[in-house]
A = this chain, B = another copy of it.
Amino acid sequence: MYAPGDVRVEEREDAKIIEPTDAVIRVSAACICGSDLWLYRGIEALNGPTPMGHEYIGVVEQVGDQVRNVKVGDFVVGSFVASDNTCEICQAGYQSRCIHNVMMGSEGTQAELARIPLADGTLVATPGEPDKDLIPSLLAASDVLGTGWFAAVAAEAGPGKTIAVVGDGAVGLSAVLAAKQLGAERIIAFSRHPERQALAREFGATDIVEERGDAGAAKIKELTGGYGAHGVVEAVGTQESMWQAINSARAGGYVGYVGVTHGVQLDGLNLFFTGVHLHGGPAPVRRFLPELIRLIWDRTIDPGKVFDLTLPLDEAAEGYKAMDERRATKVLLTL
């Protein structure tokens, strides 16, 4: 990305091993993330031309001397944060905040080859070469599914629970799927888009609410006997969406927020009196990858349905444009 709105595909030097803990993978598929749009729209500052992309699946092409857990030829899925998976933070399940974490956006995985730092801690090999139809779902596991899953876990989705989901993008829809898998009894999706409503229902939503903001939160209270949802997923990241989520939860309820927050200020006293549990941040996708890969491999879940536009990498610019204009929810880039 050269500037907001200016995405180009160009020849760059091949990714290579720098540290002995690195791997280089040949990317099978990559995608464009909702968070990439913050740069595309000029809301986040860009420091000159920047390689893009942090979601990826592919085949290991080369490994550093100290890599033990993956080998050349393995088909692998990684998360958008490279992590050692051995520090206390990783061991507690917060690999996205590993003390040695490397944000993959700094490497740029919308490319034929990508360097994966801390390969042993970051990459998870699939049981074998995946069937072609599993590619979108495995790619989804790399970020949006793992993020939605984390949000649903943070919202304490489980049997008997009513879970509301703010945000009908790929992460929000993935959170609906996750809440369903985790056993939630009732799943309320906020959405005004007929196609996204339909996918939300297919993923497990039992109710759709079109109201937003305070009216949306009031609707959740109305649907839950005045109490509010047991848990709420926030997958947008704006001031309105954060309060919509917090105010949709009951006192003592759980809000899992994973939308990268922009311009959000939380008034402490208002938050205090909601009495909610608030937990979120960059999702520790690595924690969930083995289970997500298994569910996809077994064809229990089909999260790849969030991709509604597939383009060759060469046409990445059009992919950004389509997502920016909301013509596409999530774009898959093939290589």
Determine how many copies of this chain the complex contains.
2
Contact sample, A vs B, 22 pairs, CB 8 Å cutoff: A88-B225, A89-B250, A89-B251, A89-B252, A92-B252, A94-B251, A94-B252, A94-B275, A97-B252, A97-B275, A99-B227, A237-B268, A260-B269, A260-B272, A261-B272, A264-B269, A265-B268, A271-B281, A272-B281, A273-B281, A276-B279, A277-B277
CB of B272 within 8 A of CB of A89, answer: no
Contacts of A88 in B (CB 8 A): 225, 227, 250
Contacts of A268 in B (CB 8 A): 237, 239, 242, 261-266
- Please tell me if A10 contacts chain B, counting CB pairs below 8 Å: no
- Interface members, chain A 192-250 (any B CB < 8 Å): 225-227, 237, 239, 242, 250
- Please tell me if A96 contacts chain B, counting CB pairs below 8 Å: yes
CB of B93 within 8 A of CB of A252, answer: yes
Write the residues of chain A forming the contact surface with B, with a CB cutoff of 8 angstroms: 88-89, 92-94, 96-97, 99, 225-227, 237, 239, 242, 250-252, 257, 260-269, 271-282, 284
CB of A267 within 8 A of CB of B265, answer: yes
CB of B266 within 8 A of CB of A265, answer: yes
Q: Please, how many angstroms separate the alpha-carbon atoms of A263 and B267 in the complex?
A: 8
Q: Please, how many angstroms separate the alpha-carbon atoms of A252 and B150 in the complex?
A: 12
Contacts of A227 in B (CB 8 A): 88-89, 99
